[in-house]
């Protein structure tokens, strides 16, 4: 489904006129099958969100290619309805002047022409993320963090994309709400058979929801392991990351 080949990314360091460049992603290559969930973990500043933006086609790699079903992900057409994203900052991800109904309706309008169909899909989606129809007329400021994040998830799922990217999407929710959202993502995956790219600091969350985990360090893939073999990681860095969580 997704194929990343020798991707490199540089950012200019210290302002527009500085010639210095920071090598943020180095020789990144991997593939992800349809319906597969990949966790991307690594320290702060290791390049996870940058990789995420490249996978979403928001930014271009300086070298290398990213293909989604054989097509370049930079083309809007490749992405439309196929890839969506949920970010950490859910409060600013929803338009503050939109009700829940308007926010979730927006992506549905792109795909469904008949208004009655859209409305019934909307109610189904809200139900699937655990919100009843009393939420339809609410505005973002009337929602709790967990509820707002559910609305973002409903929006991301609306077009039934083949892949959803989550960048630290549940990190700011409190523990029990995190577990609820993880459960929700697991069940949605069973309904829609979509793949997830799950960027996080939290190995436990990644282990819960992903099939494979990529460990990234200073812009390089340090290791890629199946979740069942997470305990057998080889590199010292990956071992250290794991230990920090277990202890
Ligand atoms: N638009 C940008 N312009 C210049 N430098 C950037 C830009 N975006 C990111 N960087 C730099 O690239 C590096 C990787 O950043 P990135 O946001 O990808 O890290 P991350 O792994 O997502 O970190 P975190 O876990 O804190 O979210 C950092 O050193 C950051 O300062
Ligand atoms: Mg980040």
Residue 81 has a pLDDT of 83
Measure 94 CA to ligand 1 centroid, in angstroms.
23
Residues lining ligand 1, judged by CB closer than 6 Å?
A: 11, 24, 42, 44-50
Please, what's the b/e burial string for 157-170 (b: 16 or more CB within 10 A of its CB; e: otherwise)? bbbebbbbbbbbbb
- Residue-wise pLDDT for 216-237, tens only, equals 999 999 999 999 998 888 888 8
Q: Which ligand is nearest to the CA of 43?
A: 1
Q: Give the C-alpha separation, 61 to 58, whole Å.
A: 10
Q: Which ligand is nearest to the CA of 48?
A: 1
pTM: 0.92
CB-count burial class (<10 Å; 0-12, 13-18, 19+) for 234? exposed
Instruction: Report the phi/psi class of residue 160: left, alpha or beta, with left for phi > 0 and alpha for psi in -120 to 50.
Output: left
Measure 28 CA to ligand 1 centroid, in angstroms.
16
Specify the pairing of strand 71-72 against strand 63-68. antiparallel
Q: Give the C-alpha separation, 166 to 65, whole Å.
A: 21
The Cα-based distances of 86 to 14, 48, 97, 161, 177 in angstroms read 29, 14, 19, 12, 16
DSSP 135: G
| Tokens found for residue 105 | 């309706």
- Residue-wise pLDDT for 104-147, tens only, equals 999 999 888 899 999 999 999 998 898 999 999 999 999 998 89
Would you write out the chain's pLDDT as a tens digit for each of its 247 residues? 899 999 999 998 877 677 788 999 999 999 999 999 999 999 899 999 999 999 999 999 999 999 999 999 988 888 888 999 998 877 778 889 999 999 999 999 988 889 999 999 999 999 889 899 999 999 999 999 889 989 999 999 998 899 999 999 888 788 888 888 899 899 989 888 899 999 998 888 898 999 999 999 999 999 999 999 988 888 888 888 777 765 5
Nearest CA to ligand 1 atom 1: 11
Residue 2 has a pLDDT of 94
Residue 236 has a pLDDT of 86
């Amino acid at each position: 489904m997704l194929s990343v080949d020798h991707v490199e990314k540089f950012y200019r360091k210290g302002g527009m006129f500085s010639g210095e460049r920071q090598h943020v992603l180095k020789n990144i290559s991997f593939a992800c099958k349809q319906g597969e969930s990949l966790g991307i973990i690594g320290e702060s500043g290791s390049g996870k969100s940058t990789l995420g933006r490249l996978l979403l086609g928001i930014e271009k790699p300086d070298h290398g290619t990213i293909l989604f079903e054989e097509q370049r992900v930079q083309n809007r057409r490749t992405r439309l309805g196929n890839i969506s994203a949920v970010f950490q900052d859910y409060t600013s991800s929803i338009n503050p002047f939109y009700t829940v109904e308007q926010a979730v309706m927006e992506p549905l309008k792109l795909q469904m022409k008949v208004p009655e169909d859209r409305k019934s899909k909307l109610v189904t989606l809200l139900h699937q993320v655990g919100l009843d129809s009393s939420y339809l007329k609410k505005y973002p400021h009337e929602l709790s963090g967990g509820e707002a994040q559910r609305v973002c998830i409903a929006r991301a799922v609306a077009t039934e994309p083949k892949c959803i990217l989550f960048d630290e999407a549940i990190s700011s929710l409190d523990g029990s709400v995190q577990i609820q959202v993880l459960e929700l993502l697991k069940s949605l995956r069973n309904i829609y058979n979509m793949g997830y790219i799950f960027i996080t600091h939290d190995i436990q969350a990644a282990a819960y929801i992903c099939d494979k985990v990529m460990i990234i360090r200073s812009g390089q893939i340090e290791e890629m392991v199946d979740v069942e073999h997470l305990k057998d990681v080889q590199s010292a860095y990956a071992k250290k990351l794991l230990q920090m969580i277990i202890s």
